[in-house]
Amino acid sequence: EDKINNVARVLAFGALKFEMVKVSGEKVITFDMDKALQFEGFTAAYIQYTYARIQSLKRKGEKTKTSNVDFQYLKENKEKEISLFLGRFNEVVKVAGETYQPSEVARYLYELAQTFNEYYHTTQIINAEGGENVKHARLELAQAVGQVIENGLKLLGVGVVEEM
């Protein structure tokens, strides 16, 4: 019961905060709780769910974890796209700070979550063809996405949950 209450609290506060910061400063905010709590679209819940999904992958993948990860096994176009996307995080944060627009970070996180979810739905991660090396590289890529999502949401004052 405590776990359920904690998840509900994190999602509710996340929805409120995210709805405030996802809109650029010069626009009027119209808050709709039903839309804010949807698990699809430009919402905190969608991004938080992506984070929780990645944590689930991490738990499943820990059974065969290795310390030697070779990223040259990431050969899919989406894997390259995600890698490049991750590389933009620092610049997005810098621009958001310089322009006082946290909406830049919110938009980036939403687009990162979309890109990862497209990848997740089309690519085997835990049961990757190509063996353990591919699996471990994909798990590490997923973990990098999770870390950036967590960092970005924290910058926006939005919490994350390990499970939903």
Q: What are the phi and psi torsion angles at 82 (to 5°)?
A: -65, -45
Average pLDDT rounded to a whole number, residues 119-125: 96
Residues 58-116 have pLDDT tens digits of 998 876 666 678 999 999 999 999 999 999 999 999 999 999 999 999 999 999 999 99
Distance CA 93, CA 96 (A): 5
Residues 80-90 have pLDDT tens digits of 999 999 999 99
Q: Are 59 and 33 in contact (CB under 8 A)?
A: no
Q: Are 51 and 156 in contact (CB under 8 A)?
A: no
Rounded to two decimals, what is the model's pTM? 0.90
